[in-house]
């Protein structure tokens, strides 16, 4: 009996650890948003787009949400039906940032290795980008 209990605990622990490893985190990337934030530059206030992305010649993309930078290698893109959104939880960047600052602020991608940006393309399609959250200092 003891052995069976031990095995059950071992299996459940294994399953739990597997789930943890594969946990995915999603952030919304709203390219159509007009939202901005302010930056102070040499005494002047300049506004920047809250969501922006720069596409490289090789297809890689650098996303910015507020001041955070996310890097996409061209291959890690997935197109899904909009219904997919029902199955996932979109996280709040500020909350993730708190976790990152606590655990490993210089390498955020190590804290959230399975991070996806979700962008709505039209009323029926979304695109998922698997991104690397990069730290930088200006």
Partner 1 sequence: MKNKLKKALKLGILIFGFSLLLWNCDVMENTARQEVQQEGTITEISFDEFKLKANLNNQAKNLSRFFDINKSSFKSSNNYKSTGGFENAIILTDNIIKIKKDNFTTYTFTILAPTENNEFYNLVLYVNDNQEIYKSHILKYKPSEKWLSDTTQYFSGSVEIINNDIFNVNNLLQSKTSQSAKSSSVAECIDDVIISYECSNGVEGHREGNPGSPDCVAHSFYYYITLITSPCTAGLGDDGGDFDPNTGGGTSTSGGGDSGIVTAPNTIPYTSQLKNFESGTLNATERTYYNRDSNTKNTIDRFLIERNFSNIAKTDAKTALDFSSKYKLNFEQFNWVFNNRDSEDLQELKSDLVDIGEITPEIEGYVKASINSEVETNNDAEIDFENRIINILEGKALCVYNKLMNSGTGFKNAIKKFDGKFPVSHLKFKFDPNMTSNTIRAYTRAPENYVINIVLNGNSTKDASYQKRPNLLVAKTIIHEVIHAEMFRKLLSLANSNGNINVSLVNRMLQQGDYPGMLDYYFRNGQDINSNWQHQQMATHYRQTIGRILQEFDTGIVVPLNEQPSQFYMDLAWEGLNDSDIIEWQTAINQPERDRINDVINSYTSQHSNQNCTN
Binding-site ranges for partner 1 (CB under 8 A) = 39-44, 46, 48-49, 52-56, 62, 64, 78-81, 100-101, 103-107, 124-125, 134-138
Residue 124 Cβ vs partner 1, minimum distance, rounded to whole Å: 7
Q: Which is nearer to partner 1, 8 or 31 (CB)?
A: 31
Q: Which is nearer to partner 1, 66 or 91 (CB)?
A: 66
Sheet hosting strand 61-65, strand order edge to edge: 25-28, 115-120, 125-134, 68-81, 61-65, 51-55
Q: How far is Cα 95 from Cα 45, in angstroms, rounded to an integer?
A: 26
Q: Which is nearer to partner 1, 30 or 78 (CB)?
A: 78
Q: 120-130 b/e with 16+ CB inside 10 Å = b?
A: beeeeebebbb
| Site of tokens 């290795």 | 113
3-state class of 80 per DSSP?
Answer: strand
Residue 2 Cβ vs partner 1, minimum distance, rounded to whole Å: 32
Of 118, 111, 120, nearest in space to 133 by CA: 111
Residue 77 Cβ vs partner 1, minimum distance, rounded to whole Å: 11
Residue 4 Cβ vs partner 1, minimum distance, rounded to whole Å: 25
Q: Which is nearer to partner 1, 7 or 74 (CB)?
A: 74
């Amino acid at each position: 009996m003891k052995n069976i209990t031990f095995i059950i605990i071992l299996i459940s622990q294994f399953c739990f650890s597997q789930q943890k490893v594969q946990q995915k985190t999603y952030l919304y990337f709203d390219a159509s948003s007009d939202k901005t934030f302010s930056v102070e530059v040499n005494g002047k206030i300049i506004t920047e787009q809250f969501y922006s992305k720069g596409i490289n010649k090789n297809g890689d993309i650098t996303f910015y949400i507020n001041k955070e930078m996310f890097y996409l290698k061209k291959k890690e893109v997935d197109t899904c039906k909009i219904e997919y959104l029902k199955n996932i939880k979109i996280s709040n960047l500020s909350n993730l940032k708190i976790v990152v600052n606590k655990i490993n602020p210089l390498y955020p991608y190590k804290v959230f290795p399975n991070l996806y940006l979700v962008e709505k393309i039209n009323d029926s399609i979304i695109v998922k980008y698997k991104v690397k959250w990069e730290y930088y200092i200006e």
